[in-house]
Amino acid sequence: MTGTHLAIILVSLLSFSATAPSGDECSQLTRELTAEQLDEILGCWILIEGTVKNDFFGPVLDFIESMWMVLNRTADSHTLRLDQANRLAARQHPTPVKEQCLRIAMNVTLVSGKGLELYIPTAASYHRFLHTCSDCLLMHTYNKDNDFQILYLFGRNTTVAASDLNTFRKQAECLQFPLPSKFQYDNRTELCPE
């Protein structure tokens, strides 16, 4: 290998490390919402971007063209109501899909503790929420039995500012999620009706 090749590799590595978030920056970017911040996650959210680590259940994000979810309180203070609709990508689905919209409605359990976290028994999955932009929702989904993890960025609208996307990608990098993200909403695909 010539000196020129080594210099190019060194410059590439230095430029990559210069853009990577520092440890202090990562600790700020990955702070969890607290249980007292529950109201911040309530309401309707549209999936903007998502990345997956150790796709244990298969290519989950490959089959989604759009997604929205609504989180609401219930009479039980330890339970939320989750309504969700996914527009499936029929052309990529392994079996023919009759209905393009898959709707789910269920109660989810608030995990007791300082952090804001939900548990969905049917999927044995946990969902914790991290600080993000004011009209965004950052949800880190994981399963304790394996290393399956997804990082979702939701917005109140179908788009978020470019700076918010950049922050999300830094957060993904801090949490060691692969980039580019597997799912990026194109803002043209129709959302399932409510």
The domain defined by 31-184 folds into Lipocalin (2.40.128)
Gap between the Cα atoms of 11 and 13, Å rounded: 5
Contacts of 79 (CB under 8 A, 6+ apart): 107, 108, 109, 110
* Per-residue pLDDT tens over the stretch 5-34: 433 333 333 333 346 788 889 999 999 999
Outline where DSSP puts E strands in 10-143: 43-53, 64-73, 79-88, 101-110, 117-120, 125-130, 136-142
Angle at 95 between CA 91 and CA 96, to 5 degrees: 65
* Per-residue pLDDT tens over the stretch 158-182: 999 999 999 999 999 999 999 999 9
Compute, in degrees rounded to 10, the torsion defined by CA atoms 181, 160, 81, 121: 10
Tell the residue number behind the tokens 């109201």, with chain if given: 39
- Written as one letter, the residue type at 114 is K
pLDDT interval class at 91 (50, 70, 90): low
Q: In which residue ranges of the chain is CATH 2.40.128.20 found?
A: 31-184
Q: 105 has which bridge partners?
A: 83
Confidence (pLDDT) at 9? 38
- Written as one letter, the residue type at 130 is L
